[in-house]
Amino acid sequence: MNPRLRWKTRAFAAIVILSNAFGNLSLTWGLRHGAEELTASPVSFLRAIIGPWVSLGICLLIAWMISRMFLLSWADLSYVLPVTAFGYVLNALFGRLFLGEQITPARWSGTLLIMAGVILVGLGNPHSEGHTGESS
Amino acid sequence: MKAWLLLAVIVASTVTADLLQSHEMKRHGEIHDFGPGGLRRVLLALARKTNLILAVVCMAVSFFAFMALVQVADLSFAVPASAGSLVIETILARLILKEQVDSRRWIGAALVAGGVWLLAL
């Protein structure tokens, strides 16, 4: 694989993983500390969004969405999905460290399996065909 | 029951959003210019793509369902469980997007799916 493409792919995969994990943490923290309980009413969602932690979480998740979109402009979906799944491991760790959630042995085993899958797919080529696209 | 219903909404909307995004971004082509001007041009061009607008709508549905889910379930359950879409998406990437999914990717996706299932236990 082209070294430039490999570097760019890894950098964007890291941005996708970190923005998603920190975004989810911030969102969950905000929803559990201070935000009122969500109901079917859109007003309750809007009130929750105004909170600082929820707002930060939303900004990070927008960054996640855009960086993932860019990554998908050259990497296959079937490559991006398993590689960025390392974020699930980070989410589990954040849940344990910051939200006081219990991580069972089954969850730790799951973490190891995900890491094995990520490493396996990450060693391969991010795109399987010569899609050149239209622009930029 | 409410958590599983929300989870089903998240998975369905995520699968739809990812397929639309991947299809449209491949049509657009690899992005090379990451300077402020280049990013602005790319984002403006992408904002006019119908498939991407639909993808963002699906992601918004997924996001609001996720917000409701983390209020009734652990984050360490909600995130991995919502990745149940991974296997469905890998199959659809092969069937709809015509990606060449080699044995390495199938095995990797299977390992990740197994791991996600264990995390959700």
Q: Which chain A residues are closer than 8 Å to B112 by Cβ?
A: 81-82, 85, 113-114, 117-118, 121
Please give the pLDDT value at position A1: 62
Please give the pLDDT value at position A15: 95
Please give the pLDDT value at position B4: 83
pTM reported for the whole predicted model: 0.75
> What is the CB-side half-sphere exposure of residue B30 using CA atoms within 13 A?
15
- A contact residues 3-22, partner B, Cβ 8 Å cutoff: none
Q: Which chain B residues are closer than 8 Å to A118 by Cβ?
A: 108, 112
Using 50 as the pLDDT threshold, list the residues of chain A that sit under it.
130-136
Please give the pLDDT value at position A63: 93
Residue B103 in contact with partner chain A when CB distance is under 8 A: no
Q: Which chain B residues are closer than 8 Å to A98 by Cβ?
A: none
**3-class SS string, chain A:** CCHHHHHHHHHHHHHHHHHHHHHHHHHHHHHHCCCCCCCCCHHHHHHHHHCHHHHHHHHHHHHHHHHHHHHCCCCCHHHHHHHCCHHHHHHHHHHHHHHCCCCCHHHHHHHHHHHHHHHHHHCCCCCCCCCCCCCC
Please give the pLDDT value at position A129: 57
Q: Which chain B residues are closer than 8 Å to A38 by Cβ?
A: 67-68, 71
Please give the pLDDT value at position A119: 80
Using 70 as the pLDDT threshold, list the residues of chain B that sit under it.
83-84
B90-103 pLDDT, tens per residue? 888 889 988 888 88
Please give the pLDDT value at position B84: 67
Q: Residue ranges of the domains in chain B?
A: 2-120
- A contact residues 19-38, partner B, Cβ 8 Å cutoff: 24-25, 27-28, 31-32, 37-38
